[in-house]
Amino acid sequence: MKAKRTRPVILLADDDPDDREMVREALQEAGVACDIREVADGEELIDYLMQQGRYAEAATAPAPDLIFLDLNMPKVNGFEALARIRAEPRIASIPVLVLSTADAPEQVRKVYAEGGQTYLVKPASFDRLVETMQRTEQYWCDTAVLPPH
């Protein structure tokens, strides 16, 4: 039986500060004990993951256990970011969970084809988002064995 992670690091990549706040609050409301880190676009996400630029110090960018990825971001969109993550051996094994408002079948297919582990549609209500975060935490932090750092 695997040891439960005490405080997994969740990296939230979303250009909308209101959406980041809502996810952060939903994780807290769901009782998910995690270290939440945030980036506002795909370029910043790659800098964080590669520990470059303002994230060059390891203390400012602890390796995430999970990435919540929005697809519609400036500079580098979610699909491009996912492709870059999967192409870089140092970070390729980090689970990427897409959290999007869209659920177009071709978009969902593309996320899975490009290496995304889960596609979550952002629920319309905060209560449903809290439930989604509880289930996500139960699976990804309590049940699944995540890759070591």
Lookup: tokens for 16: 């909308």
* Amino acid (1-letter code) at residue 134: Q
pLDDT at residue 144, rounded to an integer: 84
Buried/exposed code over 40-76 (b: 16+ C-beta within 10 A; e: otherwise)? bbbbbbbbbbbbeeebeeeeebebbbbbbbbbebeeb
What pTM, to 2 d.p., does this model score? 0.91
Contacts of 50 (CB under 8 A, 6+ apart): 88, 90, 91
| Low pLDDT (below 50) residues in the chain | 1-5
pLDDT at residue 1, rounded to an integer: 39
pLDDT at residue 2, rounded to an integer: 45
Tokens 């889960």 sit at which residue? 118
pLDDT at residue 20, rounded to an integer: 95
Average pLDDT, the chain: 91
- Confirm if 37 and 11 have CB atoms less than 8 A apart: yes
Backbone angles phi, psi at 82, to 5 degrees: -60, -45
pLDDT at residue 27, rounded to an integer: 94
pLDDT at residue 145, rounded to an integer: 82
Q: Domain 9-143 adopts which CATH fold? A: Rossmann fold (3.40.50)
pLDDT at residue 6, rounded to an integer: 65
Q: Which sequence spans correspond to the domains of the chain?
A: 9-143
